[in-house]
Chains A and B, each alone.
Chain A
Amino acid sequence: MRKKFIFIVLVPLVVLGAVTYFYLDSWVESGLETAGESLVGAKVEIDDLRLGLFPLRVQFERLQVANPNDRWKNLFETGRVTFAVDANQLLRNKIIIDTVEVRNVILGTKRTTDGSLPQRPDQKDAPPSFAMQLAKQVESEVRSVPIFDLEKLRKDLNLDSLLRIQNLLTIQHLDSMKHQALALSGQWKSTLADYESTRQRVMNIESNLRTIHVNELKTLDAITAAVNNVNTSYNTLREINETLTTRKNAITNDITRLTGSIGHIDDVVRADIERVKSLARLPELRLGGVTDLLFAQQLYAEAQTYLGYVDLVKRTVRKYTPKPDFERPKRFEGQDIHFPVDRAYPRLWIKTAHLSGGTDAARDPNYISVSGDISDITNNQSLTGKPISALIRGTKGNRMRLEIGASLDRRGNHPLDQYRATISGIPMGEMKIGRASFLPSRITQSDLAINAAVTVPGRTFDAQTTVSFREVRLVFEQSPRNTVERLARDVLDRVRNFDTHLRAWNTEGRMKIHFSTDLDNELYEQTKRVLGEELNRIQNEIRSKVNQKIAEKRQEVERVFEEKKQEALARIREYENLLGERLALVETKKRELEKHIEEEKAKGIDAAKKKLEDAMKGLIRKQ
C-alpha cells in the first residue's frame, strides 16, 4: 500500500467526485442535447438540467427542439420536464423511464437563434423525401393548368403559322394518295394495252364469222366445217371474256381500295384539326381546372410543410437492426456481440410521456399549447412489442382545437406510420389565393377546419386531407382581366363556406395528387356556359381553316383519281361491249346453223320417204 495513499488516491478521488458532482448536470445536459440533435437533425437545447441521484431523477426547466425545415422556428418547446430513470437497468446500460412529465408544451414557437446544424454527409445522399416528391409533382401539375384568358389566347393565336404544311398530316396523306392513283393508273394502262392485242383477235373472229353464209351451205362437209368454225370462235371469245373479267376485277379492287383511302381522308383531317387545336393551346373546360388555379398551389404548399414533418418522424424513428455476424471494424472500435437477456429491455424505453399544456394563465395565445400522452418511445420495438403511439390535443387562444393521433410501427419487415389529425377553428389571418396571372386575391378572414389521415407503409404513402373554409371574406387585388376571372370572381363573391379535398399518394413509385373542391361544379358550369360558345367558335375557325388549306389539294387528288378511274372503267366497258357484240354474233350464227341443219335433215327424210313410196308403188303394179 502506498504510504501517501490519502494524497495520491483519496484526494484525487474526492476532487474527481466533487468535479463530477458539480459538472455532472452539464455533462448529462450536453449528452442529451447531442443525442437529440443527432436524431432530429437540428439544434436541441436544454436549460437548467438538474440530476438527483437518490432516487435517480432528471429535471430540466426548458427544452427547445428546432425545426430542421425552418431554422428560425422550434418544432416544439416545453416548460419543466421531469422523469425518473430505473437505476437498476441503468447499471445494465439501459435507459428505462416509466413516466416523463412534460409541462407547457407549445408548438412552432419562434427562435431567437439559428436552429440549424451543419449538414451531415448521409443527408446529402438521402433518397428524395415525400415532401420533395410532392413539390416536384405539384410543380408539373401547376405548370400544366391552362390559363383561361381567351382575349390573350385570341391575340396570341396565329393560325397561319400553325397551319404550316409540316403540321398537317392530311397534305402528306393526299400527296401519297395522288402518287398511288398515278401508279395504279400506269398499271391499268399496261393491262389495257393487252386488251388491244386481243381486240385484233376478236375482229378476226368477227370477219371469219361473217364469211359463213348459212343458206349457201349445201353439203354435209360444208355444214360441219361451219359448225366447227363457230364453235372455235365461241370458245376463243369465252376465253377472252374470262381474262377480261379477271383483269376488270383487279382494277375494280384497286379502285375500291383507293376510294376507301380517300374516304379515310376525313379521319386524317379530324386528327389534323385536333393537332392544330393542341398547338394553339386551347384550354379544355374540365372540372376542377379553375379551382386548381385558385387554391391548389397554396394548399399544396401547406401539405408539403406537413409532409415534411411526416418525413422527419419517419427518418427519426428507425427500425432496430441487429449487427451482422462478423464485421471488420475500425481500429480500437471492435464489434459488440449481444447475448440473450432474461427480460429483454431495449437500450431506451420511455413508457409514457405525459404532456400538459399548462395553465390558462401561462398560455401564450399566439402559440399552440399541447397536452396528451406519447407511449412506448424506444429504439427497439421488437423488444417492447408495441409501436410508438401518441394522442395529443392542443388549443390555441381558446379558439383553435387540434387532436392528433399517431402510431409509428417498426415491428414488422416494413415500417408503418399512421396519422390522423382533426384541427378546427384555425383563425386564418390572411391567405393568398389565385396567382399573379389569374385572379390574384386574398382570403382576409376565415375559419379553417382540417381533417387529415396519412398512412406511410414503407416507402409509399397515402395522405387525404379535407380543408373546410368557413365564414370566408375575400379581397380581390385587381379588376377582372378576362372572362374567366370575372366568372370565378362572381362565384367566389357569393361563397362563404366551401371545402377542399386534397389527396396525395405514392403507391406505385410515382407521386400522384388530386385536388378538388365543392366549388368545382359551380365554377365549371359558369365557365362552360360562357366560355363554351367562344371556345367552340375558335375551334370552328380552326376547323374551317384546316379544311380550306386542305380542300385544294383534296380536290386535285380526287380529280386525278376520278379521271384515271373513269378512263379505266370506260376502256373496260368498251371491251365488254365489243366482246358482248361478238359473242352475240356467234350465238346468232350458231342458231342459224342449227336451224339449217334441221331443215337439211328434214329434206333428206322427205326425199327418202318419196323414194320408198315410189318403190312400193312400182312393186304393187308388178304384182
Chain B
Amino acid sequence: MFWLNIVSNFLKILRAGQTPVQIAGGFALGSIAGFSPHLSLQIIAVWIVILILNVNLSAAFLSFTLFGIVAFLVDPLFHLFGYYLLVDVPGIQSFWTSLYNAPLAPMTRFYNTVVLGSFVCAFLFSPIVYFGMKRFVVVYRATLGARVEQLRVYQIVSKSKIIRMYQRMRDLGE
C-alpha cells in the first residue's frame, strides 16, 4: 500500500501542485539511487541531497523503484562497463589508484565493477531523465492528463473497490 500511495501521490502531483522542476529533480535523483546495487557512501549522499533539496519525494521513491528493476535487468552491462573503466582505460588508472589510497573513497566501493558502472551510467543518464521528466510533466498537465483520465482503464482502476477502500482507510488514518 506504501507504493500505491506513492503512485497515487505521484499522479496527483502530475496534475497540479509542485513544479515540473521539483518533480523532475526528484525523479532524476531517485534514478541515481535506484541504479546502484548497494547502499554505498555515495548513495547515502544522494539520499541526503534528495532530502535537503526541495524535490518531490514521491517521484524520487517511484524512480528509485523503477530504476532498481531496470538495474537488475542490465546488471551485466554495468559489470562490463565498470570493468572497462577500471581495467581497460589506461588514462585513468592513476586516478583510480590515488582514489584507492585516499581515505573514505574505498568505502564508496568504486573499485567494484557494478557499483562504478551503474553509478557512472546513472550520472550520465540523469540529465536526460531530468529534462525528459520535466517535459513530460508539462505536456501531461497541458494535454495528456485530460486524455489519460478519460481512458476507460484509468476510470476502472480509479473507481475500483480496492482503491476506494484504500482511500477511505487512508483518510481514516489522517
Contact = CB atoms under 8 A, between A and B. Distances in A.
Interface of A: 1-3, 5, 8-9, 12, 88, 91-93, 325-326, 329, 331-342
A337 B87 contact: yes
Interface in B58-97: 71-72, 75-76, 78-79, 82-83, 86-87, 93, 96-97
Contact of A2 (B52, B82, B86, B113): B52
A336 B112 contact: yes
Contacts of A329: 79, 113-114
B112 A334 contact: yes
Interface stretch (B9-17, B100-108, B165-173): B100-108
Interface in B20-43: 37-38
Nearest to A8: B51
Given A92-B106, A334-B78, A336-B112, 8 more contacts: A326-B83, A332-B114, A333-B114, A334-B79, A334-B117, A336-B109, A341-B100, A342-B101
A2 B53 contact: yes
Given A1-B54, A2-B54, A5-B52, A337 B104 contact: no
A195 to B, nearest CB: 101
19 contacts: A2-B54, A5-B52, A9-B51, A91-B103, A91-B104, A92-B102, A92-B104, A331-B72, A332-B38, A332-B75, A334-B112, A334-B114, A335-B79, A335-B112, A335-B114, A336-B113, A338-B111, A339-B97, A341-B100
B4 interface: no
B75 to A, nearest CB: 5
A5 B50 CA distance: 11
Contacts of A325: 87
A12 B52 CA distance: 12
B52 A1 contact: yes
B115 interface: yes
A92 B97 CA distance: 13
A13 to B, nearest CB: 8
Contacts of A92: 101-104, 106
Contact of B107 (A1, A9, A91): A91
Contacts, number: 81
B75 A331 contact: yes
B36 to A, nearest CB: 9
A337 B111 contact: yes
Interface of B: 37-38, 48, 51-54, 71-72, 75-76, 78-79, 82-83, 86-87, 93, 96-97, 100-104, 106-107, 109, 111-115, 117
B100 A339 contact: yes
A339 B114 contact: no
A326 to B, nearest CB: 7
Nearest to A331: B75
Nearest to A93: B106
A2 B51 contact: yes
A334 B51 contact: no
A336 B37 CA distance: 14
Contacts of B103: 88, 91-92
A7 B106 CA distance: 31
A334 to B, nearest CB: 3
A622 B79 CA distance: 161
A335 B106 contact: no
Contacts of A2: 51-54
Contact of A337 (B38, B48, B51, B86): B86
A309 B78 CA distance: 45
A340 B97 CA distance: 6
Most chain B CB within a 10 A radius of its CB, from A88, A335, A338, A341: A335
Contact of A9 (B37, B52, B71): B52
Nearest to A88: B103
B56 to A, nearest CB: 11
Nearest to B72: A331
Contacts of B78: 334
A336 B93 CA distance: 15
B50 to A, nearest CB: 9
A128 B51 CA distance: 56
Contacts of A3: 54
Contacts of B76: 331
A91 B83 CA distance: 24
B159 to A, nearest CB: 34
Nearest to A5: B52
Most chain B CB within a 10 A radius of its CB, from A2, A3, A338: A2
